Structure 1
């Protein structure tokens, strides 16, 4: 039976003894408040639902150390959790006892992260990680309930609607071809052209592209067996996401393109894994996710270099031979503009390399490919009864390949109408679609001005 006693003259002087006097709790303002609290503890103990409140006296920082020792997570997940804990959770709650946490306080903390200029997805991720940590504290009987748990449907729905709208980017087949051509012009080699086309026409993830070994490139197919995860600048070989090992059939054009690429890339094993990878960085074995996007893909689709400190984002310039005018040494913008005749227009501003995977999914839907074949292609698993009763028939795969081949040929015809390419690998592909060339004046001479000439093509 619980009983209370007054100790001292502070604002909260009452202490309760409960569990036969074996346990005590101080800090109550009135005698009745102390008794009520002690009786609730004894009732919970009789119902076998009682959590020893002393276990909740551990601080959040101490519990995270204890909690992390029992986690078995992927390297990228550990990296994400570590960032959220270090940047958001520990600065605000690190020295707080678990038992002192309040749901309204955590809700205000999440709102404060957004108010500091972070994206709503970052704030939601921080709360999700905190909820996972406190959920395990609840399981370990250190908390009676999880104050970071967020009920479904609560919160501002307009924030989530805005996030969904940002995920709708995808590229047409002609935009993919143009982005691949531009990326190759930036890098000065065909590897980036082949990689972007491969991503768009297979739906492979970036880590799967980086981890593609020569031995898994067969004539007419690619075997996805592993991926290279980038964790703090270190590349770790791991199974594909969700263990989605699969064989991806290739349309005829991509079979020839990959065959030429594998022959062109010299054999060689990287020092970190001892494997012969098909796609490598210039001067190094691997190119990171951010480096590929910032150096090649985003400038290609935006027509502008990526933002960097206070550097102005000026359009990328092209000379009269269709080649990119690249700043070499300490040359001025005026020097570059004197040698340029045009600049790149944006293709799909804000697109990322992962949007090529979205594009592939969109293309399959447009070509009427059955859903079960779409899931197999992307390495997803169907849910429910469809997973058991749906199978990929050979004609489904053939329908998919035929659709991809038609899209590729359509993009080449559209590109041929714009003339030849300065990228050798693309120019060889355009040859069957290009007719004779002629020089025609577009501006008549006025007052002794030089006659400007422009090359035009007759596409077939």
Structure 2
């Protein structure tokens, strides 16, 4: 005996009961589209199941049989097509999906609805067993985003298990940093000059004195560098007309003007070719530079005709090569002498710089912030110079003034002059 109510009814087929409920959709001919589930042995249980489905439909938490059967592989295609991130971020997401997530679930022919807490844990166990901890964490973070975005269309709730802070607090390990001393930077710069000429020397000191990111340095071209900028600015954005005019009154070469570099782009590989991209987090900014660096950059640009401020040995962009491997490691770690018979480029013996041996080039950027903090500059001016957004009211109401920029130039110049005095004393 079948039970029937509005939009839900049961029927017996053989020895089991099936329930059908209206999905909330219509066929092309106007008839209601029903969904069903069979296999019940108790009619009341089947009827209640249908009523629960109607409740979910009314409250927007229902997953249709059709959507629930969506394969994980199809959902990954849909999820990837909706990404809207910076180039490197999207590239990393796609790499994780195609290398670790898709192969696992494609092999198991899994639908999105099949991924429950047990399946999630099994995948996590697998990933932790084959990848380093940091990489495994990234994979699980992306996987969690994929499952969260499937709610409520493909799954009712996400099976992702969130960490809950219970028990004793354990501090996360943090990279140990050493003080960045000007004499260490000078040795790095001398090593870089031995490998790349004056371009290498200026690059190291520019990073130490501006905090620019490596990709921004590799991609820096003449029109955005002192002494050409801001007069040479391409003015690519008509909406920033006022900013361009203000820059001419504030920055440049001349009495009362502040020497500066404009960060408008970086270089990254995209689709196999080196491409100009916006700076990370679209952190467009103007960086005043101390007089010694302004003079160094002016002389460097006079010494070569490359469009790149810091050209490679053959005049091209440093972003073309793996700078960290090819140049930074011998600059920081030291290296034995090498003649033309041993390698393409000759090099003299390079002394190691102990505070940077085995460490990242990026720590020069960190050291720049430490110098600014030591000298007591405005937090807003420091964070803006580093390309960071300052949250809250401070970020809304604050601005970087000429006085702040002159103060930054002054302390950076003084740091350089103290180093020259120290080096002069040592050489004497």
TM category, shorter: 0.7 to 0.9
Q: CA deviation at 1:246?
A: 1.6
Cα 1:7–1:149, aligned 2, differ >3 Å: closer, same or farther? farther
Work out whether 1:359 is the aligned partner of 2:367: yes
Correspondences of 1:28-47 after superposition (within 5 Å) = 37-47=49-59
Q: CA deviation at 1:33?
A: 6.5
Per the alignment, residue 195 of structure 1 pairs with 203
Per the alignment, residue 64 of structure 1 pairs with 76
Work out whether 1:400 is the aligned partner of 2:408: yes
Q: CA deviation at 1:258?
A: 0.8
Q: CA deviation at 1:154?
A: 8.0
Which string of whole-angstrom CA distances, capped at 9 and with x for unpartnered residues, describes residues 380-435 of structure 1? 22101111222323322222222211222233344x2xxxxxxxxxxxxxxxx26x
Which string of whole-angstrom CA distances, capped at 9 and with x for unpartnered residues, describes residues 197-233 of structure 1? 1111101112211221201112311111222122364
Cα 1:407–1:254, aligned 2, differ >3 Å: closer, same or farther? same
Work out whether 1:172 is the aligned partner of 2:181: yes
Q: CA deviation at 1:287?
A: 2.4
Once residues 261 and 167 of structure 2 are traced to their aligned partners in structure 1, the CA distance between those partners, rounded to angstroms, is: 44
Which of the residues 321, 326, 329 maps onto 1:295?
Answer: 326
Work out whether 1:142 is the aligned partner of 2:154: yes
Per the alignment, residue 125 of structure 1 pairs with 138
Which of the residues 225, 237, 262 maps onto 2:264?
Answer: 225
Q: Secondary structure at the match of 2:276?
A: strand
Cα 1:247–1:46, aligned 2, differ >3 Å: closer, same or farther? closer
Once residues 168 and 300 of structure 2 are traced to their aligned partners in structure 1, the CA distance between those partners, rounded to angstroms, is: 49
Per the alignment, residue 111 of structure 2 pairs with 97
Per the alignment, residue 326 of structure 1 pairs with 338
Q: CA deviation at 1:157?
A: 7.3
Which string of whole-angstrom CA distances, capped at 9 and with x for unpartnered residues, describes residues 290-338 of structure 1? 71111222222233xxxxxxxxxxxx23xxxxxxx1154259xxxx9xx
Once residues 326 and 123 of structure 1 are traced to their aligned partners in structure 2, the CA distance between those partners, rounded to angstroms, is: 40
Residue 204 of structure 1 contacts residue 378 of structure 1 at CA under 8 Å; is this kept in 2? yes
Once residues 46 and 416 of structure 2 are traced to their aligned partners in structure 1, the CA distance between those partners, rounded to angstroms, is: 76
Correspondences of 1:152-171 after superposition (within 5 Å) = 153=165, 161-162=172-173, 165-166=174-175, 168=177, 171=180
Cα 1:110–1:366, aligned 2, differ >3 Å: closer, same or farther? farther
Structure 1: runs of 5 or more not aligned: 268-275, 304-315, 318-324, 417-432, 435-456
Per the alignment, residue 308 of structure 2 pairs with 277
Cα 1:93–1:249, aligned 2, differ >3 Å: closer, same or farther? same
Once residues 57 and 260 of structure 2 are traced to their aligned partners in structure 1, the CA distance between those partners, rounded to angstroms, is: 63
Q: TM-score, normalised by structure 1?
A: 0.72
Which of the residues 127, 145, 149 maps onto 1:113?
Answer: 127
Q: TM-score, normalised by structure 2?
A: 0.77
Which string of whole-angstrom CA distances, capped at 9 and with x for unpartnered residues, describes residues 238-285 of structure 1? 222222222111001111111111111214xxxxxxxx2222223362
Per the alignment, residue 256 of structure 1 pairs with 295
Once residues 190 and 259 of structure 1 are traced to their aligned partners in structure 2, the CA distance between those partners, rounded to angstroms, is: 12
